[in-house]
């Protein structure tokens, strides 16, 4: 990732986040005098170019360590790709899919990268999944793979928190195991597309209580980012701010023998090369 990469953030209390950017020295700068939110037209190539043209030193510095919210606003949907890493499919014993497995996460799952994660009532199998998230920048409908990246604003870290019993034992689709409040920490920042040289060669990791659980690289994606964006756009219109979580490498609790699911008080720390880190503590819902 380029050292001068623009990192866009949303900071402040939940539901009252302000737009900001992190400058080259790691200082948080307020963007609310320039844009209303990191959303909509701001995520287009032209919108990002306008922000990139600003002198960060001219923007107000934000003191202290405010909470970071999800790094994009006005999201209309969260779409996820299941079993999209060849090594993760192997650990679950599943055959690699022949086309993307798609499921949805409810919008209420979105939260900040360091917010507490709730363990749902009656949960027995709370799990983690470090994932590369793709943020859509411009409306995408029936786009080709060749054109797909032109509709991507950038990339971020996502933890696709999952309740495996709800997901696999409660009948129907996976959505109910993926959609509890706080099941979608996103951020800390959105790194714009131009700053990520190759989204298909990023190392990624996740620790639980300081012990490494997941180690992977986006190079083992079965379906790459252009394929996934184009594929999804054949079924639904992707809108600016929509989030696509592209799958997880091996090392999830469900794949351990025996499984070692999360419990209240556990701490997850995770990150992706060039895209920052997250940290969440599990609390009771």
Q: What is the pLDDT of residues 194-230, one digit of tens each?
A: 999 999 999 999 999 999 999 999 999 999 999 999 9
Q: How confident is the model at residue 1 (pLDDT cuts 50, 70, 90)?
A: low
Distance (Å, rounded) from C-alpha 32 to C-alpha 25? 20
pTM, two decimals, is 0.96
DSSP code, position 140: B
User: In whole angstroms, what is the distance from residue 199 CA to residue 201 CA?
Assistant: 6
Where do runs of H (alpha helix) occur along 158-249?
164-168, 225-233
Q: How far is CA 116 from the centre of its chain?
A: 16
Rounded distance between C-alpha atoms, residue 117 and residue 258, angstroms: 23
Rg (CA), the chain: 18
Q: What is the pLDDT of residues 51-110, one digit of tens each?
A: 999 999 999 999 999 999 999 999 999 999 998 998 777 777 778 899 999 999 999 999
- Residue 173: band (very low, low, confident or very high) from pLDDT cuts 50, 70, 90: confident
Percent over 90 (pLDDT), the chain: 92
Residue 3 predicted with pLDDT over 70 = no
Give the residues across from 127 on adjacent strands.
Answer: 162
Q: What is the mean pLDDT of residues 251-276?
A: 96
Contacts of 165 (CB under 8 A, 6+ apart): 123, 124, 125, 177
**Token match 């779409």: residue?**
79
pLDDT of residue 171: 87
- Nearest partner of 111 among 161, 166, 149, 36, judged by Cα: 161
Q: What are 134's two structure tokens? A: 């793709």
Range name among 41-45, 165-169, 234-238 with the lowest pLDDT average: 165-169
Q: What are the pLDDT digits (tens) for 97-156?
A: 999 999 999 999 999 999 999 999 999 999 999 999 999 999 999 999 999 999 999 999
Tracing tokens 């639980």 back to the chain, one arrives at 208
State the sign of the Cα–Cα–Cα–Cα dihedral 34, 32, 6, 230. negative
Whether the Cβ atoms of residue 278 and residue 269 lie closer than 8 Å to each other: yes
Q: What's the pLDDT score for residue 4? A: 65
- 259-266, long-range: CB < 8 A, 24+ apart: 259/125, 259/164, 260/208, 261/124, 261/125, 261/126, 261/127, 261/164, 262/119, 262/126, 262/127, 262/128, 262/208, 263/119, 263/126, 264/119, 266/208, 266/209
Q: Which domains does the chain have, with CATH numbers?
A: 7-58 (no CATH), 78-284 (3.90.850.10)
pLDDT in tens, 178-187: 999 999 999 9
Residue 92, pLDDT score: 74
State residue 249's pLDDT score. Answer: 94
């Amino acid at each position: 990732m380029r050292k001068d990469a623009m990192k866009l953030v949303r900071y402040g209390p939940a539901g009252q986040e302000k737009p900001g950017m992190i400058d080259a020295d790691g200082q948080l700068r307020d963007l609310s005098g320039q844009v209303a939110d990191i959303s909509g037209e701001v995520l287009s190539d032209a919108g990002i170019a306008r922000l990139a043209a600003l002198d960060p030193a001219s923007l107000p510095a934000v003191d202290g360590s405010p909470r970071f919210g999800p790094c994009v606003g006005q999201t209309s949907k969260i779409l996820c790709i299941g079993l999209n890493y060849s090594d993760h499919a192997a650990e679950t014993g599943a055959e690699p899919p022949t086309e993307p497995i798609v499921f949805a996460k409810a919008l209420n799952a979105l939260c900040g990268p360091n917010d507490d994660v709730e363990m749902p009532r009656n949960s027995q199998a709370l799990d983690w999944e470090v994932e590369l998230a793709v943020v859509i920048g411009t409306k995408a409908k029936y786009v080709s793979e060749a054109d797909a990246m032109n509709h991507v604003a950038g990339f971020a870290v996502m933890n696709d928190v999952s309740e495996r019993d709800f997901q696999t034992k409660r009948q129907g689709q996976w959505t109910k195991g993926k959609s509890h409040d706080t099941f979608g920490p996103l951020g800390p920042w959105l790194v714009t597309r131009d700053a990520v040289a190759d989204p298909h060669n990023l190392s990624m990791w996740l620790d639980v209580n300081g012990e490494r659980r997941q180690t992977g690289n986006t190079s083992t994606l079965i379906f790459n980012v252009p394929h996934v964006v184009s594929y999804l756009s054949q079924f639904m219109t992707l809108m600016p701010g929509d989030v696509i979580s592209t799958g997880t490498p091996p090392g999830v609790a469900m794949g351990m023998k025996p499984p070692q699911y999360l419990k209240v008080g556990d701490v997850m720390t995770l990150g992706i090369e060039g895209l920052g880190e997250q940290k969440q503590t599990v609390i009771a819902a």
